[in-house]
Every structure is written in structure tokens, then in C-alpha cells.
Amino acid sequence: MKYKAILLVSIMLPTLTMAKGLEVEPGLWETSMTRTDPLSGQEVTDTQKECIEERYFDPEELTKDMQGCKLTQNELKGNKLNFTMHCEDAGMTSSVAGEYEVNGDKGNGKMDFVIMGMGQEMKLSMNWESTRLGDCPKTKQDKN
């Protein structure tokens, strides 16, 4: 179902970069994502570290391989990216609206989901705070 694909995109959004679009400084980034649990209504925060090697993020690149999904807005203004996406699969529809802003070694964003299926609507929200910690650590392979 596209719901899982959209959640994957939302988790990867602050840490993935692509060929064109929003400029992000490569390096080791730490991202805290806060989301609302759809069952309990409580906020849950997860933090992860990711080595970013590419300089640009473009949501259009993420949706290329997502069957049934279409990017309906992809607007970059300065250091802020706004996007919307619509997905349809097996009688389920999903709409996503998001934004992400980068200011040097800091970034923040949010994403709102509306998922419709079997006569029910589910809404989810996510927020991110990202910090560039420095250069990516060297691997053993790099030292050889």
C-alpha cells in the first residue's frame, strides 16, 4: 500500500538528497522526527543520524519509482521547499503536503498526510529538526 511508501518518504525526506533542488550541506546530519501516533494520538519522537553525500534534495526524484503517486507541487523558494503529492492504490488515496527549510547547518520541516480508504479518513502529521554534526566519519575502506 502507498501508506507505507509515503511513511518511508517522510522518514527519509530530511536525510536524502538528489541531483537538483534544495541545497543541503553534505556531512553527518542528526534528525529528530516527531509524529502523532494515529492509534493513541500521542506524540512519538525518533532520532537518527545519516551521512549525506549529495548536495541537493528534489522530491520529484523520490516519487519517480512510486507507482500510483504523483507530485502535484514542487516549489523551491530560496532555502525552503514546498511540495504536495497524491497517491492512489487498491482503492486507497493519500495526499501529502510538506515543507522543508535549510539554514546552513540546521533544517526543519513538517508533513501532513490524509489517507482515505474503506470509508475512513486518517490524518497524520510529522515535524523534523535537523542539525549537521560535521563531516561524515571515515570508513575502514576509505583508509585503504
Q: Considering the domain boundaries, does residue 140 fall inside one?
A: no
- Predicted confidence (pLDDT) at residue 3 exceeds the cutoff of 70: no
Q: Is the pTM of this model over 0.75?
A: no
* Domains held by the chain: number: 1
pLDDT of residue 50: 93
The residue-averaged pLDDT of 13-17 equals 41
Q: Considering the domain boundaries, does residue 98 fall inside one?
A: yes
Phi and psi (nearest 5°) for 23? -80, 130
The residue-averaged pLDDT of 104-128 equals 92
Q: Which structural domain range is residue 102 located in?
A: 2-131
Residue keyed to cell 553525500: 53
Q: Considering the domain boundaries, does residue 138 fall inside one?
A: no
**What tens digit of pLDDT does each residue of 19-65 get?**
367 888 999 999 999 998 877 888 999 999 999 888 887 777 767 77
Q: Considering the domain boundaries, does residue 70 fall inside one?
A: yes
- Predicted confidence (pLDDT) at residue 133 exceeds the cutoff of 80: yes
Q: Considering the domain boundaries, does residue 136 fall inside one?
A: no
Q: Considering the domain boundaries, does residue 53 fall inside one?
A: yes
Q: Considering the domain boundaries, does residue 105 fall inside one?
A: yes
